[in-house]
Amino acid sequence: MSTAPLAGIGVGSGSAAGAVAKAAPAPVLPPPRPVTDPAAETAAVRAALAEVVADLEARAARAGGTAADVLTAQAMIAADPVLADRAAELVATGTDGPHAVTGAYAAFRTALLAAGGYFAERAADLDDLRDRAVARLLGLPMPGLPDPGHPYVLVADDLAPADTALLDPERVLALVTVRGGPTSHTAVLAKALGLPAVVGCPGAAGLQDGRQVLVLAAEGTVQPDPGPEDVRRAAEEQRRRRERAAGATGPGRTADGHPVALLVNLGALHELDGAAAADSEGVGLFRTEFLYLDREQAPTVEEQTAAYRTVFKAFAGRRITVRTLDAGADKPLPFATAADEENPALGVRGLRTAARDPQLLETQLAAIAEAARSTGADVRVMAPMVSLPAEAAAFAARVRAHGLPAAGAMVEVPAAALRAERLAGVCDFLSIGTNDLAQYAFAADRTLGALADLLDPWQPALLDLVAATAEGAAARGVPVGVCGEAAADPDLAPVLVGLGVTGLSAAPACLPEVRAALADRTLADCRRLAALARTAPDAATARARVREALRTPAS
């Protein structure tokens, strides 16, 4: 058995060692069999689909909170009568139950994959529901989380929300998935729970139950049969990080007092309580797409106002940066984006949708303004996917026309980074979306795990674009934050500050380590680290150089 480390995409900075326990495998579909009693077969199919719904609802009731929302949404999909009717139609044409269920789900799946981006990533959710129903029909246990009776490293092909929603961080030490990219459900969940994870790790398919592994999220590796010394070192590093994180609180600042705003990213109302409870100066990125997803029409101004008021009240006394609708590419919406674009990531998306449908933006700004007025909240509004200073100027004019005091532009397109000074000249702040900026700088689809190397936020060319943006903003005295995933990496945080970034916005669970990392270094240290990273020949060297420097005592 090889003990070579297995490579994947690391999520978070933690580590964990423990025994592997694999999620119950999906059932294997047996060869088709003739249907002798179609009525009984149909009844069995309907019963299996109903059992899946009942199981999800029961687990939702047990789970509560965010998990309950996810499971309830899954139960609603599984309860769709169109699915059961389609399966019944297939049985009527002589298809046996397991194949009929598989066929019915396949039609749903094809529709989601055709929609692409965010929806395509949800295809794994449908596969999970199908597997549960098929397992029931075959008399097998439903696939899902293992229960070996002790804490374990969960290894799975990919995790569905129905599994992850029930994850108990007390029992699950780390997550490892064979598939999935940096924006997969598993990656997002691992960050929210603060669990170390490695996703997109093909070698994990060969790991057996009970095998000891060491998961190193920062390295993106899974080490089978680690030596006691490796485990001890990783645990020590983990303990040190946790202690350091617990020791730093309050506004972000470097060791010599240079302020760095530390803010949370918020993407759904069910995240609100956790986000508001986090030690932060407010919201650096409020993604508003959740209001628009799964709808035929845009939400009304009243609906939007109510949602914004809820968020603004939860952050009373702190600043809230609302991003206007970012439809298109990985977030397609039937009423806002065209279905026939050949390259949706390069198409009419983000702020560009407002040029085609100004009312969409007007309604949103009116709702934000009304919610801000009635709550007295400190609200700033920024636009996604800005390419030209003229676009930013037009957006800022609309924001101000609604009586909102601060308008910003996201820097996600290299052209915007290169012309940041002009952009900063027409708005009140800039916010760098490193996820998209990496995608467009490297011509690499951000949803593809296979291109993770190019999308690595340590790529020196990406850091050059961050530096260009920060220089442009500084020339106009305008603040510039980072709100992409790069801001969540505690080793990268001092580098970003050294490049001139004035604020960092990340998942709430990531902020304590980021705050601690900044508190350890002076601004001059940060600048030295930034120079080390920028002059590196590649991302791996940049990361290694900075980590090495961080291990040596601060000057």
Among 98, 433, 457, 494, binds Mg ion (CB under 5 A): 433
**Partner from Mg ion, ligand PEP, none binding residue 57, C-beta < 5-8 Å depending on class:** none
Q: Give the number of residues written for the chain.
A: 555
Over the range 420-452, which residues count as b (16 or more CB within 10 Å of their CB) and which as e?
bbbbbbbbbbbbbbbbbbbbbbbebbbbebebb
What ranges make up the beta strands (E) of 267-336? 282-287, 319-323
- Nearest to 188, CA basis, from 511, 507, 513: 507
CA angle, residues 430, 435, 437, in degrees to nearest 5: 60
Tell the smallest beta-carbon distance from residue 436 to Mg ion (Å).
4
436 binds Mg ion (CB under 5 A): yes
182 binds Mg ion (CB under 5 A): no
Closer to Mg ion by CB, 96 or 326: give it. 326
Dihedrals phi, psi of 222, to nearest 5 degrees: -125, 115
55 binds Mg ion (CB under 5 A): no
Closer to Mg ion by CB, 55 or 412: give it. 412
Tell the smallest beta-carbon distance from residue 272 to ligand PEP (Å).
17
SS3 98: helix
Residues with catalytic roles: 185, 483
**Partner from ligand PEP, Mg ion, none binding residue 490, C-beta < 5-8 Å depending on class:** none
For residue 515, the 8-state DSSP code is: H
Closer to Mg ion by CB, 281 or 436: give it. 436
Work out the number of other CB atoms within 10 angstroms of the CB of residue 33: 11
Closer to ligand PEP by CB, 102 or 435: give it. 435
Q: What is the DSSP string of 302-313?
A: HHHHHHHHHHHH
Q: What whole-number distance in Å separates Cα of residue 334 and Cα of residue 483?
A: 27
Tell the smallest beta-carbon distance from residue 81 to ligand PEP (Å).
34
Tell the smallest beta-carbon distance from residue 89 to ligand PEP (Å).
39
**8 forms bridges with which residues in the sheet?**
none
**Partner from ligand PEP, Mg ion, none binding residue 287, C-beta < 5-8 Å depending on class:** ligand PEP
**Partner from Mg ion, ligand PEP, none binding residue 285, C-beta < 5-8 Å depending on class:** ligand PEP
Using CB under 6 A as the criterion, which residues of the chain lie in contact with ligand PEP when the complex forms? 285, 287, 326, 412, 433-436, 483-484
Report the DSSP pairing between strands 319-323 and 378-383: parallel
Closer to Mg ion by CB, 379 or 438: give it. 438
Tell the smallest beta-carbon distance from residue 452 to Mg ion (Å).
17
Q: What whole-number distance in Å separates Cα of residue 93 and Cα of residue 212?
A: 49
Tell the smallest beta-carbon distance from residue 323 to ligand PEP (Å).
7
Closer to ligand PEP by CB, 434 or 502: give it. 434
> Taking CB under 5 A as the rule, which mask of x and - marks residues 366-395 in contact with Mg ion?
------------------------------
**Which region among 125-133, 237-245, 429-437, 504-512 touches Mg ion (by CB under 5 A)?**
429-437
Tell the smallest beta-carbon distance from residue 412 to ligand PEP (Å).
5
Identify residue 471 by its one-letter amino acid code: E
**Partner from ligand PEP, Mg ion, none binding residue 434, C-beta < 5-8 Å depending on class:** ligand PEP
Q: What whole-number distance in Å separates Cα of residue 158 and Cα of residue 128?
A: 10
Over the range 456-473, which residues count as b (16 or more CB within 10 Å of their CB) and which as e?
bbbbeebbbbbbbbbbbb
**Partner from ligand PEP, Mg ion, none binding residue 280, C-beta < 5-8 Å depending on class:** none
SS3 445: coil
Closer to ligand PEP by CB, 188 or 193: give it. 188
Question: For binding to Mg ion (CB under 5 A), which residues are involved?
Answer: 412, 433, 436
